[in-house]
Structure 1
Amino acid sequence: MQKTLWKLLSLTLVILMTLSVVVSSASAEPITLRLGHTQPAEHMINISAMAFADMVKEKTNGEVVIDVYPTETLGTNTELSEACSRGDVDFYVSATGQYTQRYAPFTIVEAFYMFRDQEHMFKFYQSAAHDKLVEGLAQACSVHILADLYYGARQMTTSGKPLNTADDLNGLKMRAANEPLPIAAFTQLGAVPTPIAYNETYLALQQHTVDGQENPPASIYAMKFFEVQDYLNLTYHQFQMLSIFMSDAAMKKLSQEQIDIVYECARAVAAEHNPKAVELEQGFIEQIGQTCQIIQPDIESFRQKIAPMYDQFKDKWLEGMYEEIQAM
């Protein structure tokens, strides 16, 4: 009887120990999340996205793992923005313009010549005015901006015709992001905006489906657009940041401590990325200039021609936001 009892106790102990190991193993399983974007693997945006993922894994002791998918692997910008809102993709790196059809106030940062220079743009992104937009976006689109990465000063490239003044855009077919602001801006400037997916732009330029496009020098170089264009027109029409978005659904998978670490890592990566991106920008212009002729257009002609377009969007912007930005 006593032997039987000891056998039962021993068996119970073995079962309990086995269950303990199983539970321990289950609790040690990392939370795996996905981050998607459209830039090529060698682009500085992807390098910073990878650094963000590595830092999160390190700071959470491997509890949170972020797999990074560049080059539209998980979809186009439009598809990724919608997937992030739904929670099908956990993180997404892109411009806020992708969400402006659902949260129009953010079109203000996409407006051509809204910012005078890099310093003006950075000042806005560190302001309470920007914080208001971030809060509004979270409520409207179920995504949270963790940090912002400097993308660059957007410039226009063209084939066959340089842009010496804004009027030289008249009738040109320009690839535009499928967003309200760029389409309205090119229309205002007299061009014919043609929405084409980012990774289809090279072929569209090569086949002359469009006459030109606009992007920061880092992207023009990484995507090799300069190979199929004649002119790099330094229009400086938009100083742009790309945001690291995190879905509501992804946040619900993490503890508050893990969420805090994710924010901390995103901001740390941005703090390292932004000055480097600014520093490298001129080098990309010089590299492109070895193939394309660099044009210094009359920027004031662009400013004057675009100005009336602001009236089309002011009712979509938060009250007083335009004046607040211009006063910075």
Structure 2
Amino acid sequence: MSVLMTRRGLGAVLGAGVLCAPSLRRAQAQSAKYRLRYGTAFPSDHPGVKRIQEAAAAINKDTGGQVDLQVYPNSQLGGEADMFTQTRSGALDFMSTSGVNQTVVPVGGINAVAFAFESYDKVWAAMDGDLGGFVRAQFGKVGLFVLPKMLDNGYRNITTSARPINNPGDLKGLKIRVPGNQLWVTAFNALGASPTSINFGELYAALQTRVVDGQENPLALIDSAKLYEVQKYIAQTGHIWDGHFIFANARRWNGMPAEIQNAVARNLTDAAEKQRADIATLNDSLVQSLTKAGVTFNTPDKQQFREVLKNAGFYTDWKKRFGDEAWSMLEKYTGAL
């Protein structure tokens, strides 16, 4: 018998055992040899935060208190682009993100080619395998160390306030918020929409005031950021699979002893694997809970959207941008695009 878990229930489970008395936490931080900061745009109750907080506690324990990893959710340390820049420069030790890294390492966004991955089996085979290894190696050339396992941000779906999205024609002229990178922007341009870049922290207000008419995000973020309060429809397009690499400043990482690196890597890898399972659990339950909250769901035929992109030259163009080697690795898992 399957058990569905609500976001609140999952948060309670994840939070158990992570919290400690403030005075003890301060004492641990003061005695730690390595004081590290981890920034993320995920909201504080998102599994991508809860599991990293768990990992931080485990790292502290496994290193005998030598490492104090402080986790800053909800873009407290700046937007994703800011945190990515800070991590490259060494002002920030760790952060996780997806799309913004493409401005520095273009192939870093290849996992987000629209309508590429049909299932999670293919996603994890690719990103835990050859394709992920190839991408991580490119980040090593720009001053970053990348942890071996990605966090799951989830398959992205389109939400709207005025009308449901049933086919590509429904996107024509739609003002839709997308992350500020060319892969997302060109995909929605090719589909006839009018993409607009807005920081995630400002998205709720932009939807509420109709600066944009829609947006696209995974269900877990639609829920945790309460975007369903200002959006009526969710089209389960699953148009992009979005994952977050966990980045570390390479100088900071290489300056830590091997035993410290091993403890950090082991626990962050464990956190990523648990977080993936959390998202799968949430995806099973959120359609029901969001429907109860007043959202209307529909599931469009993805092939219609893929054909529009193909005819617009989207895949041909991005194959040239990413290069034959990377594209061949992608198609090893997705099939011909």
TM-score normalised over the length of structure 2: 0.85
CA deviations 1:233-279 (Å, max 9, x no partner) are 01011122212111113214411221122111111112222123212
**Alpha-carbon separation, structure 1, partners of 2:183 and 2:102:** 9
| 2:118 equivalent in structure 1 | 116
**Alpha-carbon separation, structure 1, partners of 2:290 and 2:32:** 47
**Alpha-carbon separation, structure 1, partners of 2:149 and 2:220:** 20
| 2:167 equivalent in structure 1 | 165
**Alpha-carbon separation, structure 1, partners of 2:309 and 2:119:** 17
Give the alignment of 1:1-328 within 5 angstroms: 29-95=32-98, 97-290=99-292, 291-307=294-310, 308-328=313-333
**Alpha-carbon separation, structure 2, partners of 1:250 and 1:216:** 32
**Partner letter of residue 65 of structure 1?**
D
CA deviations 1:190-245 (Å, max 9, x no partner) are 11110000010000000000010000000000001111111000101112221211
**Partner letter of residue 52 of structure 1?**
A
**Partner letter of residue 208 of structure 1?**
R
**Alpha-carbon separation, structure 1, partners of 2:139 and 2:116:** 20
Shift of 1:30: 2.4
**Alpha-carbon separation, structure 2, partners of 1:106 and 1:243:** 9
**Larger deviation: 82-91 or 301-310?**
301-310
Shift of 1:28: 5.9
CA deviations 1:264-315 (Å, max 9, x no partner) are 1111112222123212212112222221111121221111112221222212
CA deviations 1:83-135 (Å, max 9, x no partner) are 1111111010221x211111111221111112111111111012122201101
**Alpha-carbon separation, structure 2, partners of 1:132 and 1:298:** 32
- 8 A Cα contact 1:145 1:244, kept in partner: yes
**Partner letter of residue 67 of structure 2?**
V
- 8 A Cα contact 2:176 2:193, kept in partner: yes
Shift of 1:138: 1.6
Residue 235 of structure 2: SS of its match in structure 1?
Answer: strand
Shift of 1:322: 2.4
**Alpha-carbon separation, structure 2, partners of 1:190 and 1:176:** 14
Extract structure 1 runs of 4+ deviating beyond 6 A.
Answer: none
Residue 131 of structure 1: SS of its match in structure 2?
Answer: helix
- 8 A Cα contact 1:33 1:250, kept in partner: no
| 1:17 equivalent in structure 2 | none
- 8 A Cα contact 2:237 2:302, kept in partner: yes
Aligned residues: 301
TM-score normalised over the length of structure 1: 0.88
- Long gaps (5+) in structure 2: 1-29
**Alpha-carbon separation, structure 1, partners of 2:63 and 2:309:** 47
